[in-house]
């Protein structure tokens, strides 16, 4: 006669099977969580790389120009703040046939939008495919990155001692006597902090060079501000003071605020 399993044997088999199932389930869940975390990390780094490359490329193509219409309806600026940057650039690629677009435009990068599920915000790129006298408005907005915790810019200001990084840079008036004057910084440093699924901060930093640091001018100055800028730049030459006197401009040098020209 065949002998069956005892109750104790059945209980032991069930316990071993449950233990093995628990171990397998735990290992499977661990693998799935690790895969999810790795996918999220890869996504964070890809987002940072794309955003940094886009900002670096745009900023490197920024420029200033003294060639304005007689009505002065166009104005090139570079406004660099701690968490915002606005500039004219020559990186536009017209995509519509018979459009009035050129390679010039206005670009602004800033943080916007409400906080998302991770407590972050959005990196916004505003683009206007033409240059007018109001760089702060108009254009279209697009989201470059999400889950942004912080965005920060620094601007390198060279001097006789090597230079230093500044938190602001303003170049919007060709006739200004306040540093840095009507020119662009040679380098801009970009900091970007992104949040992952666990709301852990991942920090990225890069810097880009600006190739056209001094304002462009083709031919003779086309307006009064352009002429004033050129005369001030040449103020050290003997023939310039008389021209400055005709325009009522005193030869001055670029000074820092509060230094009194010392």
Average pLDDT, the chain: 82
Per-residue confidence (pLDDT) for residue 245, from 0 to 100? 47
Per-residue confidence (pLDDT) for residue 178, from 0 to 100? 75
Per-residue pLDDT at 240 exceeds 70: no
Question: In which residue are the tokens 């020559």 written?
Answer: 90
Mean pLDDT of the region 167-173: 93
* DSSP secondary structure, 80-145, as one string: E-SSEEEEEES-----STT-S--S-EEEEEEEES---TTS-EEEEEEEESS--S-TTS-SEEEEEE
Helices 240-247 and 224-233 meet at what angle, rounded to 10?
150
What is the share, in percent, of the chain residues with pLDDT greater than 90?
A: 45
pLDDT digit string, tens, across residues 25-57:
888 888 877 777 788 889 999 999 999 999 999
- Per DSSP, which regions of 113-261 are E strands? 121-128, 140-157, 164-166, 169-171, 187-195, 201-209
Per-residue pLDDT at 201 exceeds 70: yes
pLDDT digit string, tens, across residues 51-91:
999 999 999 999 999 876 666 678 899 999 999 999 999 99
What is the share, in percent, of the chain residues with pLDDT greater than 70?
A: 79
Per-residue confidence (pLDDT) for residue 261, from 0 to 100? 43
Domain ranges of the chain: 46-218, 219-253
């Amino acid at each position: 006669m065949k002998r069956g399993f005892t109750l104790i044997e059945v209980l032991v088999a069930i316990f071993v099977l449950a233990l093995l199932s628990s171990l397998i389930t735990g290992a499977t869940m661990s693998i799935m969580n690790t895969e999810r975390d790795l996918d999220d990390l890869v996504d964070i780094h890809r987002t940072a790389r794309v955003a940094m490359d886009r900002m670096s490329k745009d900023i490197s193509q920024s420029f200033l120009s003294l060639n304005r219409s007689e009505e002065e309806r166009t104005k090139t600026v570079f406004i660099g703040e701690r968490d915002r940057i606005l500039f004219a650039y020559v990186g536009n690629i017209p995509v519509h046939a018979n459009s009035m677009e050129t390679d010039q435009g206005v670009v602004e990068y800033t943080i916007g939008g409400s906080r998302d599920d991770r407590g972050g915000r959005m990196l916004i790129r505003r683009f206007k495919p033409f240059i007018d006298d109001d760089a702060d408005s108009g254009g279209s907005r697009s989201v470059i990155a999400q889950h942004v915790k912080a965005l920060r810019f620094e601007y390198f200001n060279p001097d006789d001692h090597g230079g230093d990084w500044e938190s602001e840079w303003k170049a919007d008036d060709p006739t200004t006597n306040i540093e840095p004057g009507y020119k662009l910084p040679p380098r801009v440093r970009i900091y970007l902090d992104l949040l992952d699924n666990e709301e852990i901060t991942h920090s990225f930093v890069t810097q880009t060079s600006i190739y056209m640091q001094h304002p462009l001018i083709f031919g003779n100055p086309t307006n009064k501000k352009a002429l004033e800028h050129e005369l001030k730049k040449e103020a050290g030459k003997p023939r310039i003071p008389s021209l400055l006197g005709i325009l009522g401009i005193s030869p001055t040098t670029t000074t820092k605020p509060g230094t009194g020209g010392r």
